[in-house]
Chains A and B, each alone.
Chain A
Amino acid sequence: MADVRPWSDEPAAVSRPELLAVQGAGVTKLKVEDLSFFYGKFKALNDVSFEIPEKRITAIIGPSGCGKSTLLRVFNRMYDLVPNSHAEGKVMLDSENVVTTRKLLELRQRVGMVFQRPSPFPMSIRDNIAFAPRLLGWKDKRIKTAVEESLERAALLDEVKDRLGDPATSLSGGQQQRLAIARCIAVSPEVILMDEPCSALDPVATLKIEDLMATLTHDFTIVIVTHNMQQAARVSDFTAFMLMNPGGRYGELIEFAATADIFNQPQDPRTEAYITGRFG
């Protein structure tokens, strides 16, 4: 798969003025180069290459089993938990190769993750956010500001400021997911990975998370995996479309472009078939 880099593609940028701004801001945050991934002998991803721009929202879409979650889990080495799995190729986070780095804990602080299930820790709302900073040995004062600041940035502070001592499990599903986001940004990551963050939420809660994502791009690079094409169209600046190769049974990157392009004039017939709902 060739290097796909829509925001630096000259003709496209010139023909579509909205991409000019993108080109100006288009610093690459995560550069995926010839990435393949294996669960034991089974190949799950084949030769994926693309570049994720900084402080933008990049969506990864595709049907079930195409490897999009696997790809996301390479970015913070979550796959280390799966026995016998390994990645080949490179994922450059600035100048650090994610695949081979020895500073795993530092990497996961730089690349945070929000999961499908919010998984509130069984403790108070405040402690949910303070948990990691405390274990990282931060000073009390710094933790206190981090708690308020991250709740504020996750658009949750107003709803919970009078009951920070309540158990986190008492929050609604949408609030729990925003708490998970607050927990994630408390340790100041640079990239936030989101794995189907809204698939368990109702439309109103989903909308809140989507609004939140838009404001978070001021500070963070966001990569979101979603089943929901409308969501990708609504929130993302760039979209990567993945598909399982029917012969090799592995996931491949089919097309990566500005979201508007993917949805309005996909280059690959398979992308078009997918977004028009002909399969998947």
Chain B
Amino acid sequence: MSRNLRRRYASWTSLVVMYVLTVLALVPLGLVLWFTVAKGLPSVIHPQFFFNSELPPCEPKCPAVSNAGVGHAIVGTGIIVGIASLIAIPIGVLGGIFLAEYRIARWSNWVRLASDVLVGTPSIAIGLFAYAFLVVPFHHFSAYSGSVALAVLMLPIVARTTEGAVSLIPNGLRESGLALGLPRWRVSLQLILPAAAPGVITGALLAVARAAGETAPLLFTAFGAHILEWDPGMPMQALPLTVYKYALLPYKSLQAQAWGAALVLIVMVLAINLVSRYVLRRQIALAGQL
């Protein structure tokens, strides 16, 4: 009887410990969300925050937010990440298919190793690379160079998730295609890839979310700007740059802008992540049916 009691006691204790640890793990996430929402909301509730590009008027006499906004940073993030996606997603997807479909090739081991190393590379180093190759030779900062830096960052993420999604497709599908007398590359691209599409899209979305939140690669490539800029050949503002620069300044109104920009960024990344989870669940269901 006492042994039984001891067991129950041990079971309860470990359960409580587990719950406590889970809550502890969630605390940082909760705090980040709470602070960002609480501090960012006052800026975000004004619609002009999303469209205007003016700086808030200066301290100390003026109100925190008038018609100031980070429209230029939102547009900039869209353009920079968009161009980065155009570069990284096609290359990454093709690379991922190569890794999954031709896994016997010795080449693919090298490619896999290279992409793993690239995932672990500090993003500031990638930014430095883009600076040396695309900023220094042209003598000015540009959104293009920022896009290239982000593309390098996205590439391994897209490639490895594509590989994962393609590997999930049952071998029978591949064999059925080949048995019809179709060339291997057509089976890979026109049969396997569409079947793996949801997984590939998930990878692309995750890479976009990751790139959208990166600051370091943009510091000395896209550099930032105070005006709305559409030309990717010019320096351009991005949301993480807004956060980084304004948060460090001693003006309350600019700090409010930074919190607002951070909130926009977090909501964006969260939304992308949620969509990608949904798409991934569909992929797993689909692969189960084949």
Q: List residues of chain A with CB under 8 Å of any chain B CB.
A: 76, 78, 81, 83, 105-109, 112-113, 115-117, 119-123, 131-132, 135-136, 169, 180, 183-184, 187
Q: In the complex, are the beta carbons of A184 and B180 less than 8 A apart?
A: yes
Most B C-beta atoms less than 10 A away, residue of A117, A122, A136: A122
Q: In the complex, are the beta carbons of A119 and B182 less than 8 A apart?
A: no
Top 5 A-B pairs, shortest CB-CB distance = A109-B181, A108-B181, A119-B172, A113-B179, A132-B180
Q: Which one of B62-70, B86-94, B183-191, B240-248 is at the A interface?
A: B183-191
Q: In the complex, are the beta carbons of B172 and A117 less than 8 A apart?
A: yes
- CB contacts (< 8 Å) of A187 on chain B: these are 180-181
Interface size class of B (residues with CB under 8 A): 20 to 34
Count: A-B pairs, CB below 8 Å: 70
**Main SS of the interface on chain B?**
helix
The reply on B238 being an interface residue by CB < 8 A is no
- A119-B173, A131-B191 are contacts. A106–B179 as well, Cβ < 8 Å? no
Provide a sorted-by-A list of 16 A–B residue pairs whose CB atoms are within 8 angstroms: A78-B175, A78-B179, A108-B181, A115-B172, A115-B179, A116-B172, A119-B176, A122-B195, A132-B177, A135-B182, A135-B190, A136-B182, A180-B176, A183-B176, A184-B179, A187-B180
Q: In the complex, are the beta carbons of A105 and B172 less than 8 A apart?
A: no
Q: List residues of chain B with CB under 8 Å of any chain A CB.
A: 104, 170, 172-183, 186, 190-191, 194-195, 286, 289-290
- CB contacts (< 8 Å) of A135 on chain B: these are 182, 186, 190
- CB contacts (< 8 Å) of A78 on chain B: these are 175, 178-179
Q: In the complex, are the beta carbons of A108 and B290 less than 8 A apart?
A: no
Whole-angstrom CA separation of A106 from B182 in the bound complex: 9
Beyond the given pairs A108-B179, A136-B182, 20 more chain A to chain B contacts, judged by CB atoms under 8 angstroms and listed by A's residue number, are A78-B178, A81-B174, A105-B181, A108-B178, A109-B181, A112-B180, A115-B172, A115-B176, A116-B172, A119-B172, A119-B175, A119-B290, A120-B290, A132-B182, A135-B182, A135-B186, A135-B190, A136-B181, A183-B176, A183-B180
- Select from chain A the residue with minimum beta-carbon distance to B172: A119
- A105-B183, A131-B191, A135-B190 are contacts. A121–B173 as well, Cβ < 8 Å? yes
